[in-house]
Amino acid sequence: MMPMNVLITAASRRVPLVQAFQSAIDTLGLPGQVIATDVNAYSPAVHMADRAYGVPLATDPGYIEALLDICKAERVSLVVPTIDDELGVFGEARDRFRQVGAFAACSSAATAEACNDKYETCARLNALGVPAARTYRPHEIAASLEFPLFIKPRIGRGAVDAHIVRDGRDLAYYLGCIDDPIVQEYLSGPEFTIDVLCDQRGRPISIVPRERVVIRSGVIDRGRTVKSRPLMELAERVCEAFVFTGALNIQCRMRGSEAAVFEINPRFSGGIDLTIAAGADFPGLLVQMALGRRLMPRLGEFRDDLWICKYETAVFVQGSAHELPTLAETRARRSEVA
C-alpha cells in the first residue's frame, strides 16, 4: 500500500494541525507520516511532525521547486499550505504538484489573489448580493460616512495595522501611515469565523460556524461552535461567489439580525482545532480526497455549543537547533550512514 504522506508547509505554531493529520492517517488505518517545512528550526510544529525540512521563504523563486523535490523524495500524496503569503504561488503550481503525485489542497491563484485583496473580496460579494462590509478606498470616502469606522491594509493579514477609527482625526492619521488602506463600516456585533471545506469541484463538504468570544493577537482564545442555519447558508453563498478547493475560513460580524462578511482566508483557520474537536474532521476528509474518494456533503454534522478555552504550552529542544536540514543535507547524511 502506498504511504499517505502529508506535507504541511510553514508549519510554525500549528501543532494541533500536525497532530490532527497524524490522527487522521492513523484513524483511517493508513501507513504514512506528516512532514513539516519551515524556515525556523525553533518553530514548535516541526518538532511534533514525523520529519521536518528547512525551505526558503515563500517569496523566494526556489520555494515551490524545493517543495516539489520533497514531495518526490518523500512520496507525498497531500500538500497543505497554511499561510497567506504562499497561497498564490501554490495556486499557480497545483498542476506541478499533481504531476509528482501530490494533491495540493488549495484554491486557484485567482481565488487566492481575490481573497487576499480585502477590497475586492467585499466588492465582489456586495455586487452579488451577499452581505458584506461596505468597503471604501481613500478616494471613495464620503464626508457623510458615520464614525466609528474600521481601517486596515487592502492587502494584509494577522490583524496587522487594523484599527477602529473613532473620528476625523483618527481617519487622517491612519490614512497617512497605513500603506494602501481600505476603510470599512464598523461592524460592532458578535464575531464569527465559518470554517468550510470544499472538494475539488468547489462544493462545500463541511461548514462549521464558530463564535469568536475572546480574541488574542487575531486568533481565537475562547469561543464556541454555533449550529446556525443562516451562517451556514451565508457560507454556501460565499462558495458560489468564489471557487474554492480545500479549507477556507470566512470572517463575519453581525449587522443587526444578519451577518456581514469582512474577510475570507482560503486556508485553515487558527481555530480549526475547535472545528475538528466538534466532529468535522477536515484533515481526515482531505486525506480521503487525496486518495480519490468521492465525499458526500455533511453540512451541519458537528457538535453544537462546544467551547474552546486555549492555553499556552511548550516544546523543549535540547541544545541549539540553528537550522532545519534541507532535503539535500538529509540525503547526504543518509548516504554517510549507509
pLDDT digits (tens, 9 = 90+) for 24-51: 999 999 999 999 999 999 999 999 999 9
The 10s digit of each residue's pLDDT in 134-158 is 999 999 998 888 999 999 999 977 6
Residues 6+ apart with CB under 8 A from 127: none
User: Under CATH, to which class is 134-185 assigned?
Assistant: alpha beta
In the predicted model, what is the mean pLDDT of residues 120-131? 97
In the predicted model, what is the mean pLDDT of residues 66-72? 98
All three cell numbers of 313 = 504550552
Q: What does the alpha-carbon distance between residue 221 and residue 202 come to, in Å, rounded to a whole number?
A: 30
What integer pLDDT is reported at residue 177 of this predicted model?
94
> Counting beta carbons within 10 angstroms of the beta carbon of residue 295, is it exposed (0 to 12), middle (13 to 18) or buried (19 or more)?
middle
C-alpha triplet 289, 200, 52: angle, nearest 5°: 55
What integer pLDDT is reported at residue 158 of this predicted model?
65
What integer pLDDT is reported at residue 335 of this predicted model?
76
Sign of CA dihedral 232, 238, 240, 243: negative
pTM above 0.75, yes or no: yes
The 10s digit of each residue's pLDDT in 194-219 is 999 999 999 999 999 999 999 887 88
Q: How far is CA 323 from the centre of its chain?
A: 25
For residue 267, name the pLDDT band (cuts at 50, 70, 90): very high
For residue 321, name the pLDDT band (cuts at 50, 70, 90): low
Q: What is the mean pLDDT of the chain?
A: 95
> Counting beta carbons within 10 angstroms of the beta carbon of residue 251, is it exposed (0 to 12), middle (13 to 18) or buried (19 or more)?
middle
Q: What percent of the chain has pLDDT over 90?
A: 89
The 10s digit of each residue's pLDDT in 90-102 is 999 999 999 999 9
> With contact defined as beta carbons under 8 Å apart, do 25 and 40 qualify?
no
240 φ/ψ angles, rounded to the nearest 5 degrees: -90, -25
Q: What does the alpha-carbon distance between residue 170 and residue 168 come to, in Å, rounded to a whole number?
A: 5
What integer pLDDT is reported at residue 57 of this predicted model?
96
Q: What does the alpha-carbon distance between residue 77 and residue 21 come to, in Å, rounded to a whole number?
A: 13
Amino acid at 104: A
CA dihedral 18, 22, 24, 28 (to 10 degrees): 160
Q: What does the alpha-carbon distance between residue 58 and residue 66 come to, in Å, rounded to a whole number?
A: 10
Instruction: List C-alpha distances in Å: 92 to 67, 105, 173, 266, 288.
Output: 14, 12, 38, 14, 23
* Domain boundaries defined on the chain: 5-106+314-337, 134-185, 188-309
What integer pLDDT is reported at residue 171 of this predicted model?
96
What integer pLDDT is reported at residue 338 of this predicted model?
63
Topology of the domain covering 5-106+314-337? Rossmann fold (3.40.50)
Amino acid at 65: E
In the predicted model, what is the mean pLDDT of residues 274-297? 97
User: Under CATH, to which class is 188-309 assigned?
Assistant: alpha beta
- For the ranges 197-201, 223-227, 328-332, the lowest mean pLDDT is seen at 328-332
Residues 6+ apart with CB under 8 A from 81: 9, 10, 87, 90, 104, 105, 106, 267
